[in-house]
Amino acid sequence: MFVGPQIEPIGGNIMAHASTTIVNVVMTNHSLPSFKHMICSCNFNNFEKSHVEDDSSSFDALPDDVVLQIFRKLVDLKALCPCKLVSKRFYRIIRQVDAISFITKPDISFDSVLPLIQSLSIFGGLKSLCIQIPDSCVDCPLFKWKIKFGGKLDSFIFLSPNSIYSNKELYVKANGHGQEEEGEYIKHIDVALCLATSMMRHLMLLICIKDIPSLEKISIMDCDKRWKVSLSGVKVTEMRNDLTSSSESIYKRLEVGIRVSRCYIPLLELPVSGYVMKGVTFYVCERDDLPEDEYGRFWKTVDADFEDKEEAAYCEGIMEIIKNHMGRMERMSGVPAAGFF
């Protein structure tokens, strides 16, 4: 059974009652298209002419601003879109929501997600957008990547341990033998795929900022917290000004050369969290038109955007390597961006 969102009372019980009624109308109307169809079709503009018979008499007593507050509690695009089909009034109000989130198909291609992003322009007051992209791989390798960016992707960091333990006792118990190193070629493929992903997600972020003028906050992430590309506040405004004032195509911003460095650390002990990482591969990719000393400025600190202990351990691992293991780094010579893939 579908359970509607918890709504704080506004003007007695009318808000909670209205929310439950709206959700029930939407969820029981069998003439509405399925959620799977709506998300996969990536064309929400078609809903404008697809309203079911207008029957909003049950909600005539509710002012528009109260109905809008109800819709703002839904947030999930899969819940909002069928609400637009209930009546013309709902459709008009739903376009005023200021926050939307949705989960795409696993590893959705850029060509598939672009029409979806463009269709979000119908939400004229959209300020916050969160896009989650699941990984299609069932048994994914352990890794986390982070990027620094402006109008172009400036630098990319990739950290991948063969195994991770929440404390040294668990590591000792699980490892009675010497260190083993996962094949370098496999790790090279992993980091190349992640670098390509980071470039595409960065491009998605730029297009969202340019095509949705009201947007103030955007996050694009995977569902397993391996990576996140986000921007908010004044940085969004600055980015939009740069994109609209420049004659350069957004797609041209992907055409950058890179310099690549890597190191391998058999055992990485993290003093703050107590975690232990075994067989750590660490890559740094930077734009080759940036000064060499830019590296330290970009990665002096790592944004604390983690939500759990293991995610925090990955961020600590990056900082520990930057602080104490940069002497291990080896430059991979003659690796332009295209050649790296």
Q: What is the pLDDT, as a whole number, of residue 337?
A: 46
**CA atoms of 110 and 113, how far apart (whole Å):** 5
Q: Please state, for a pLDDT cut of 70, what percent of the chain lies above it.
A: 71
Report which of residues 180 and 188 the model is more confident about: 188
Q: What is the pLDDT of residues 264-315, one digit of tens each?
A: 999 999 999 999 999 999 999 988 887 765 555 555 555 555 567 888 899 8
Q: What is the pLDDT, as a whole number, of residue 217?
A: 96
DSSP for 224-262 reads TSS-EEEEETHHHHHHHHHHHH--S-GGGGG---EEEEE
Q: Do residues 266 and 235 touch, judged by C-beta distance below 8 A?
A: no
Q: In degrees, to the nearest 5, what angle opens at C-alpha 43 toward C-alphas 70 and 200?
A: 100
Position 38 pLDDT exceeds 50: no
Token readout for 323 is 């602080």
Q: What is the pLDDT, as a whole number, of residue 220?
A: 95
Q: Please give the average per-residue pLDDT across 121-139, as a whole number.
A: 85
Position 332 pLDDT exceeds 60: yes
Position 229 pLDDT exceeds 60: yes
Least confident of 18-22, 154-158, 185-189: 18-22
Q: Where are the alpha helices (DSSP H) in the chain?
A: 14-28, 35-41, 64-74, 77-83, 88-94, 110-119, 168-174, 184-211, 234-245, 294-298, 309-324, 337-340
Q: Which helix (H) or strand (E) holds 162?
A: strand 153-165
Q: Residue 100, Cα to own-chain centre: how many angstroms? A: 13
Q: What is the pLDDT of residues 106-123, one digit of tens each?
A: 877 778 888 888 888 888
Contacts of 304 (CB under 8 A, 6+ apart): 312, 315
Contacts of 245 (CB under 8 A, 6+ apart): none
Q: What is the pLDDT, as a whole number, of residue 237?
A: 94
Average pLDDT, the chain: 77
Position 85 pLDDT exceeds 80: no
* Strand ordering across the sheet containing 228-232: 99-103, 128-133, 217-222, 228-232
Residue the block writes with tokens 């819709």: 71
Q: In this structure, are strands 153-165 and 144-149 parallel, antiparallel, or unpaired?
A: antiparallel
Position 53 pLDDT exceeds 80: no
Position 219 pLDDT exceeds 90: yes
